[in-house]
Amino acid sequence: MTKTCIVIVGPTAVGKTSLAVQTALHFKTEIISADSRQCFKELNIGVAKPSAEELAQVKHHFISSHSIQDEMNTGIYEQYALGKANDIFKDHDVAVLVGGTGLYVKTFCQGIDEVPVVDEKIRKKINAEFEWEGLEWLQKEVEKNDPLYYAQGEIKNPHRLLRALEVKLSTGKSIIEFRTQQKKPRPFNIIKIGLEIPKEQLHKNINGRVDAMMKAGLADEVKRLLPYKKLNALQTVGYRELFGYHEGDLLLEDAVEIIKINTRQYAKRQMTWFKKDEEVMWCEPDFEKVMKVLLPVIIA
């Protein structure tokens, strides 16, 4: 295989975007995003998209490419990203994929399992009941109907719980049973670079980024999105908390502090996910140091 995709991963605010742009410029190639929120054109400030300068320097894919009202999932992402990689490889030997959405990165690199078909009536009924009864009800329903998922899955994530319950009630099988973990071969080499910095510095970066987002007008961006707040695309850090502020449930300073806490927790979960991948080579977000790790592998 003569084509190579350099995959750059790591937690939010570690410096992935800047490093990816430098890498793409070095190899005179293009970038595919693996961020599940930067793809939405209505979300800008709160999702830390590449700057206008960075977008002008290197062609990016999966940035502002979809609407928050479009359906988006790992299956759609897999098709999109592999299609763009194929396009890039027509003119370049190297492509760069960058992002912190672990499931998207995994899907691009090794594929996904069969996606179970869900009965739309069941989905609507579950969502309506959850909206009325809340998370505790949802957890009990999943524990009762799908103990296999309840024992292994994320039981504090309502979207994962809803998905597990609708699959079980629609198919009679646990969503766990659809996971084969079989890797699909890709017609190109994959080199994974993970970026990490000391925790104290990462937390400082996160806090500074949140403050900068607020100065840039994040509260106003979120206010404009209030009519769409129940969409899945908006169930994300930085938006949920400010919806609470706009609806009078939180003071602004409290909402900002909760965004910082939730972002730090999200970064920790990202690192836990990527650290489980033994193929990732870890490095500081320094271009020269990354090249020292990268070039011998590409040449080999």
pLDDT band at 129 (very low <50, low <70, confident <90, very high): very high
Residues 272-284 have pLDDT tens digits of: 999 999 999 999 9
Phi, psi of 283 (to 5 degrees): -160, 160
Query: DSSP for 16-38?
Result: HHHHHHHHHHHTT--EEE--TTT
CATH number for the domain running over 4-113+182-299: 3.40.50.300
* Helices 120-133 and 158-171, packing angle to 10 deg: 140
pTM: 0.84
In order of 11, 145, 298, the CA distances from 174 in angstroms are 30, 9, 41
pLDDT confidence of residue 26: 97
pLDDT confidence of residue 112: 79
Residue ranges covered by each domain of the chain: 4-113+182-299, 120-178
Q: Is the dihedral of CA 96, 99, 101, 102 positive or negative?
A: positive
CATH number for the domain running over 120-178: 1.10.20.140
Residues 171-206 have pLDDT tens digits of: 999 988 887 667 889 999 999 999 999 999 999 999
* Helices 16-26 and 287-299, packing angle to 10 deg: 50
pLDDT band at 157 (very low <50, low <70, confident <90, very high): confident
Q: Please compute the mean of the pLDDT values over residues 36-40 and round it to a whole number.
A: 97
